[in-house]
Structure 1
Amino acid sequence: MSLSGIGVLLIGIGFLILSIFLARVLNNMAAILNGVGRTVEQLPDQLDDVLNETGQIIQNSNDTLADVNEKLGTLTPLFHIVGDVGESTRKLASSVNDIAGTIIRKTESVDEETRNKRLGGLYGSAALALYAVNSGKEKKRGFLKRHSKLYASGEQRAFDIDRMKEEAKEAAMESNYMSNEK
């Protein structure tokens, strides 16, 4: 055999190996395409099942939505009642606030002298009650108890307060802030 015959023989063997390899690849490709073909044939049936399930889900959603709307319809009057109660409560709180504001304005408009007279009367009544209780206890014991330092201090402060009130009245009369009627 000559060199050209050996070359042709080697090319033939290479071509045979290449054709065997391509045949295997093409067979595998044919198997894959057959599988794809079967999947495509089954696809309409599967899509029908999916669409039927989707239709049922939509129907169930519509039923649920209708049920929720019905229940909300029954709750709407309750929400209106709660809103009315809230509005009434707000109006009541506003009225109470207005009354409290009026009372505060009235108490602030009372002049200082009237307040002092009221407090003086209250303190005087309390002091008289305390004196009566203490003197009753002392009479039961049969002797007079000596006044404490606290009592003496309280008397001194009461005297100082009365003195300051008189000085304030005199200063106000001198400045013509008060009338001479009092």
Structure 2
Amino acid sequence: MDWLGIGVTIIGIALFVLVILLIKPLLKLAGVLRNLQNTTSKLPEQVEELTDQVKDTLHMGNKTLHEVNKQVKELTPIFHMVGDATRAANSISASMTNAIMQVRNSKSEGNAFTSKNHLEGIYGLVTLAYFIMQYNKKHNTIDMN
């Protein structure tokens, strides 16, 4: 046997030992790749199911949003009426307060009398009743015209 034959024999034995050592890890790698193939083969079906669920959820969300918008449109006039009533009540209250303050400031004798006899609350109530009657009287004459 010459040197070339001995070298080829040593290389062959080294490759044989290498193959024997690599059999177990290569078999495990084959198993991992097989499991990966099984998992990825189910993936399109799972993605399709998820897509269908997302479509249904978005459809229900849009439907709910349309219903809420419809209900808000129905309630908007009520909100406007409440706002108008609040502004009107505020205006009336402010005008009554101004009128009461003018009468109170202009009648110093009455102020002294009410302060002396502790009749501020009654005086305010009577003044308020007077201005309510004047207000009603004023608006009734406007309605008749």
TM range (shorter): 0.5 to 0.7
CA apart distance, 1:65: 0.5
Match of 2:40 in 1: 40
How many correspondences in the alignment? 108
Deviations along 1:40-60, whole A, 9 cap, x unmatched?
221111111111111000110
What is the letter of the counterpart of residue 32 of structure 2?
A: I
What is the letter of the counterpart of residue 26 of structure 1?
A: L
Match of 1:106 in 2: 106
CA apart distance, 1:21: 3.3
Higher relative CO (CA 8 A, sep ≥ 6), structure 1 or 2?
Answer: 2
Give the Cα–Cα distance (whole angstroms) in 1 for the partners of residues 106 and 24 of structure 2: 109
Give the Cα–Cα distance (whole angstroms) in 1 for the partners of residues 111 and 90 of structure 2: 35
Percent of aligned positions that are identical: 24
CA apart distance, 1:74: 1.3
What is the letter of the counterpart of residue 19 of structure 1?
A: V
Match of 2:20 in 1: 20
SS of corresponding position for 1:22:
helix
SS of corresponding position for 2:104:
helix
CA apart distance, 1:66: 0.9
Deviations along 1:80-121, whole A, 9 cap, x unmatched?
11101111111111111111220232034x5xxx988x79xx
Where do 5+ consecutive residues of structure 1 fail to align?
123-182
SS of corresponding position for 1:83:
helix
Match of 2:73 in 1: 73
Match of 1:163 in 2: none
Match of 2:130 in 1: none
Where do 5+ consecutive residues of structure 2 fail to align?
1-5, 117-145
Summarize the Cα distance change of 1:31–1:99 in structure 2 as closer, same or farther, 3 Å threshold. same
TM-score after normalising by structure 2: 0.62
Give the Cα–Cα distance (whole angstroms) in 2 for the partners of residues 34 and 115 of structure 1: 101
Moved over 2 A (4+): 12-16, 18-21
Give the Cα–Cα distance (whole angstroms) in 2 for the partners of residues 64 and 74 of structure 1: 15
TM-score after normalising by structure 1: 0.50
